[in-house]
Amino acid sequence: MFKKMKKILSKVNVDYADIRYERKIDTNIVYNGKDLTDIGENVTNGYVVRVLKNEGFSSVAFTKFEDAEKAIKSAEQDAEILGKKLAKKVKLANVEVIKDQYIPELSEDPREVSIDEKLEIIKGYSNLALDHDKIINTFMKYFDITRKKYFVSTDGAEIKETLVTNGFRGNLVSKEGSLVQSLLVGGGGSDGFYRIRNRENLIEKRKKIAVDLLNADPIKGGTYNCILNPDLTAIFTHEAFGHFSEADLVENLPSIRQKMKIGSKLGSDILNIVDDPTILNQLGHYKYDDEGVRARRTQLMKNGELVGRLHSRRTAAEFDEPVTGHCVAEDYRYAPIVRMGTTYIEPGNKNFKNMLDELQDGLYVIDTVSGETSGENFTFHPQYGYIVENGKIKNMVRDINISGNLYKTLKNIKAVGDKLKLKEFGECGKGQINPRSCWGGPHLLINNLVVGGK
């Protein structure tokens, strides 16, 4: 494949070019209640060529090798036009030229598990969830995605990397009288099929919570001091802060770019945030991004101060900052964009009991249904929570939303838990879908969060 790709690039007359070829395999199994509604495997493949010429940068995707010459010609023409018309000229940061092949280790390769066995496992989880008279419906989906990638550049890079992702996601719906509640459940990762097997205890635990929610009280709106569990910490970090760490999102937003200047004091002294795709056996792990740059651990915030940002080669040159290896595409149909890998708040020094003692009166809010951001403001919908009185967890509450301003909230973080938890599954829809987007964190104690009912 490298020989074929180098042949394609030998035809270009440009300042720089690269080409990525992928073979992608998707497997999906979906149960709605006890009904199988989707099952199948899809295999696709294609190329993306990127061209830098006269400070214009363009990309073209194509599926057939025979179309390579036409695609390159189109990319060259587009780059020339962009170089002439756009006020902002494109430069690419210099990077290490790499020749390597990398396949992360898997504990049981999902590609070697039959689709019949996958079906039986996900069917079993769906049936187990339905085995309660107050669970009226479920949605359960199994998926695995394999991306076998080849990358070649005119600089001399030659990289082959295979990424395998698998997981299951579900929604449990409980009902009593006219009250209906739903709860998310799921698991998975990028290190093997073992994460799918033997998850009955997880299903049972989530089923119990879904039923318990029917007896929970709706939250009373107000301003609360809150402890966020690791799942909610994770989504807050990813959505409210993480996207502002992606250079391509802030470069054309002058007010945000000014606030997100390196060296700005944005958070409390105890707050440290990292993005690290190099962590083995985690959903967000990869060795090289989709423009052939070695991924590296990037400290984004240190003691509340912004110290780093996530970059492509183009944005690294634009900001005059180091490349980080965070330029990732959904698949062969797309040129890569700046994406988070494994983003998390580093653990602190408080155990959960210490945090409850410090909170005294407030809320313990758990997991996430959804979240929205608008500029520097956010709203998240936890799955459920508990009233805390005198440092003790009391009754369950439901129908919660929490909102605030990112910068005020970062400075209102008063305690950071001592145990880091990374999510087993994630998905980010920034322009393209990234099913390997991983986030995490410890428990957080945050003061003065605005809390309201749905």
Report pLDDT digits (tens) over 236-289: 999 999 999 999 999 999 999 999 999 999 999 999 999 999 999 999 999 999
- Mean local confidence (pLDDT), 434-439: 92
Q: How far apart are CA 298 and CA 416, in angstroms?
A: 20
Strands 342-345 and 438-441: parallel
Given this model, what pLDDT does residue 100 score? 98
Give me the mean pLDDT over the 336-360 stretch: 97
Taken in order of first residue, the domains within the chain and their CATH numbers are 2-215 (3.30.2290.10), 219-453 (no CATH)
Q: What is the pLDDT of residues 74-126, one digit of tens each?
A: 999 999 999 999 888 999 999 999 999 999 999 999 999 999 999 999 999 99
For the stretch 18-65, pLDDT in tens is 999 999 999 999 999 999 999 999 999 999 999 999 999 999 999 999
The pTM assigned to this predicted structure is 0.95
The Cα 294–Cα 445 span in angstroms is 35
CB-based contact 415:270 (threshold 8 Å): yes
- Residue type at position 348: G
The residue written with tokens 């959903």 in the block is 283
For residue 454, the model assigns a pLDDT of 58
Structure tokens at 446: 């945050």
Q: How far apart are CA 270 and CA 348, in angstroms?
A: 7
**Residue 371's pLDDT is what?**
82
427 pLDDT tier (thresholds 50, 70, 90): confident
Cα torsion 74, 50, 253, 242 to 10°: value is 140
Please state whether beta strands 413-416 and 327-328 pair in parallel, antiparallel, or not at all (unpaired): unpaired
What contacts 17, CB < 8 A, 6 or more positions away?
Answer: 9, 49, 50, 51, 52, 72, 75, 153, 154
